[in-house]
Amino acid sequence: MNEGHICQCLSRISSLRRDAPVTISGNQRKTGGQLVDGVLRLARGLSELGVRRGDVVAIAALNSDSYLEWLLAIAYVGGISAPLNYRWSFEEATSALESVRPVMLVVDESCHLWSLQLQKSENKKLLCLRSHVFLGDPPSSLSNTENVLSTNAIKKPLEGAPAPDYLWASEGIALICFTSGTTGRPKGVAISHTALIVQSLAKIAIVGYRENDVYLHTAPLCHIGGISSCMALLMVGGCHVFIPRFEAKSAVQAIEQHHVTTLITVPAMMADLVSYHSCYVLLTFEALIREKKTWMGGEMVKKILNGGGGLSVELIKGATRIFPNAKILSAYGMTETCSSLTFMTLHDPTLQNSGKFIPKNFEGSKDSILHSSGIYVGKPAPHVELCISSGGSLDYGPASGRILTRGAHVMDGYWDGFAAVVPESSKHGWFDTGDIGWIDDQGDLWLMGRMKDRIKSGGENVYPQEVEAVLSQHPGVSAVVVFGVPDARLTEMVAACVQLKESWQWIGHYSNVPRKGEQILSVRTLQDYCKMRNLTGFKIPKNFICWKKPFPVTSTGKLRRDEVKREALSHFQFITSNL
């Protein structure tokens, strides 16, 4: 077998960090030797339980060192891991299990209730499920159940037996990772060992992960961003710090306690970190002054990778305040491409004038990455090939169209219960990302939006992300979501929901001149702002709603645009019915 295997990292870990901590989870620390020993013992136990090459093992749990052991042990015996989102309902979890048909389900306390419910059900589609396993000691509700095992009970000693060797699953698949599911049912994406390895090597090269890094697991291990960064740190032999789930307080405490040097975020996480840090400093300021100290935790962080959407200028500034020595990068990608396709540097403290990442054809203020025809998302990783499909032909120039990619990073296909099925659009070697964009003469990718989000207004195409990028630059706008609403004349009319920053007031359709010291926003002022920023007339929203609660997002921070649109449409219908 010429392809790579993710468990090849174990030899490096056992030699490089045999007696040094490689995982920290709560009060438990494991050396490299202990981690490798745990993986091998668990792998032997899985083999004895009958887990064979190509078998799927589903995991639904919070982040922990035990979760990492399971991912590696399953791969070691040639199995395929299928991480499930611990936030899913019983119905969502059941749907995912039916699609992957696992032989084993592994859960922790966060999911054991629907696991118990699943055992009592008579679902004929899950007759394949032979064993239920608890990551720790099963709670009392499960302890008397005959087919519930614990991780420790499965592990077998290695003494007196030949050392096991790792196996490859059918087609070299290591993982079935579910898409975030911003619309519709999440799909199981089959990811190969090779895809995970080339993605890890790209992150090592571009982000700069090293063996002396201490990596905080802020992203869940059920998502490709969390898994791919975890694999990169395994390959270099770094130290892993686990918190069960992301909370700003526990993240800040972990950063300070364990001298964390690197982490990944999505915009919502970064916003929480910036907000919490402001409160943290305020509450502890007097105590720190008394002890003649300052909060040093953030100064240890040297690199941050952001995904799941771009960081606003305000968040970048906030991040540089609390992580002054960190190089901050942003990545664009998706589950089907094993995480990141392109990377860009948002801030580099080693450069005298950080911000030179902005291409020369950029338009706008120096704090922005907005162009009149899209949002800059960086250059492709070394292993990634990109092109634009425009009118049925492939284009490497400035013409806009569907963004296509090919290479070892692309998924093997969507899992249909027994094998990976390649989408029709990918059968000629190129995977259609479903995004619209263009590539400039420097090889930089500009993102215009999702094809499925496209608004057809008066025969013209409008991509919400482009309009959002303009409106988000207004000093009174905190966040914005743009979408299309049905219109008899135009087919669809562009509309927007905006969140206002503190001290700004919404006055609807009025365009009153504000009194001194008063900051107001209206439909007219936002439309005028779009014109001032040279947004084409048919792209300017005709209607606005002042949105007074957080926008709904997935567990990876992706916007649930359809939910916003549904609620906004009911608002517009209410207004129409009362005219």
Residue range 448-470: mean pLDDT, rounded? 84
Average pLDDT over residues 208-223: 96
Q: How many residues does the chain have?
A: 579
User: Is the pLDDT score of 574 beyond 90?
Assistant: no
Percent of the chain topping pLDDT 90: 53
Mean pLDDT over 63-89 rounds to 95
Label residue 394 by pLDDT band (50, 70, 90). Answer: low
3-state class of 320 per DSSP? helix
Reply yes or no on whether the pLDDT at 98 is more than 70.
yes
pLDDT mean over 235-249: 96
Weakest mean pLDDT among 40-54, 64-78, 119-133: 119-133
The amino acid at 97: L
pLDDT at 180: 62
> Where does 420-575 show beta strands of DSSP type E?
420-421, 431-439, 445-450, 455-457, 460-462, 477-487, 491-500, 504-506, 519-521, 543-546
Mean pLDDT score across all residues of the chain: 85
Q: Highest-confidence range of 333-342, 345-354, 455-464, 527-536, by mean pLDDT?
A: 333-342
Q: Exposed/middle/buried for 436, CB within 10 Å: 0-12, 13-18, 19+?
A: buried
More confident residue, 555 or 476: 476
pTM: 0.83
Structural domains for the chain: 7-168 (3.40.50.12780), 232-451 (3.40.50.12780), 454-577 (3.30.300.30)
SS3 per-residue string spanning 180-228: CCCCCCCCEEEEEHHHHHHHHHHHHHHCCCCCCCEEEECCCCCCHHHHH
Higher pLDDT, 554 or 467: 467
Q: Which tokens sit at 481?
A: 């979501």
Residues 552 and 238: their CA atoms lie apart, in Å, by: 34
Of the candidate ranges 42-51, 200-209, 283-292, 452-461, the one whose mean pLDDT is the lowest? 283-292
Q: What is the pLDDT of residues 166-189, one digit of tens each?
A: 998 888 999 999 986 544 567 899
Residue type, 449: G
Q: Tokens for 512?
A: 């009153």
Tell me how far apart the alpha carbons of residues 25 and 27 are, in angstroms, rounded to a whole number: 6
Choose the weakest-confidence range: 95-104, 200-209, 256-265, 533-542: 533-542
Mean pLDDT of 150-173: 86
Residues 270-284: what's their mean pLDDT? 74
Region of poorest pLDDT, from 19-28, 127-136, 214-223, 510-519:
510-519
Higher pLDDT, 141 or 83: 83
Residue 207: predicted pLDDT: 97
- The percentage of the chain sitting over the pLDDT mark of 70, rounded to a whole number, equals 85
Describe the chain by its helix, strand, coil percentages, rounded to 5.
35, 25, 40
End-to-end CA distance of the chain: 70
* pLDDT tens figures, 280-323: 655 555 555 554 455 566 889 999 999 987 787 888 999 999 99
Q: What pLDDT, in 10s, does the model give residues 526-541?
A: 999 999 988 888 899 9
For residues 140 and 332, the model is more confident at: 332
Q: Give per-residue pLDDT as tens, 352-392.
A: 655 544 443 334 333 344 444 678 899 999 999 999 987 66
Distances (CA, A) of 53 to 43, 94, 541: 12, 24, 54
What span, in angstroms and rounded, lies between the C-alpha atoms of 57 and 79? 7
pLDDT at 3: 76
Q: Mean per-residue pLDDT for 470-484?
A: 92
| Contact yes or no for 58/102 (Cβ under 8 A) | yes
Nearest to 241 by CA among 264, 222, 270, 218: 218
Mean pLDDT value across residues 250-275: 92
What is the reported pLDDT for 356? 42
